[in-house]
Amino acid sequence: MATSKTQKIIDDITRKIASGELNPGDQIPSAAELRAQYGVSITVVRGAVNWLKAKGLVEGHPGLGVFVVEHEE
């Protein structure tokens, strides 16, 4: 089954958080960096980041970026 572009970003960032590659307090790449890295539109990036925010994995800080939140195992 094909994975959507949005789901690919979600899966990659979730995996990086779970593996410790991204730790609480770490900033995830900017929307522009994610667009370039995955070759997708800003709409796809926003959808993925909004999903990660809704699941409590990351939080946005206006003017600063999006950061991994502290989570309990």
Q: 34 lies in which domain range?
A: 5-68
Residues 50-71 have a mean pLDDT of: 95
Q: How many residues does the chain have?
A: 73
Give the number of domains in the chain: 1
Asked whether residue 55 is domain-assigned, the answer is: yes
In tens, the pLDDT along 10-54 reads: 999 999 999 999 999 999 999 999 999 999 999 999 999 999 999
CATH number of the domain where residue 28 is located: 1.10.10.10
pLDDT(73) > 80: no
pLDDT at position 2, please?
53
Asked whether residue 59 is domain-assigned, the answer is: yes
> Using an 8 Å Cβ cutoff, are 51 and 6 in contact?
yes
In tens, the pLDDT along 44-56 reads: 999 999 999 999 9
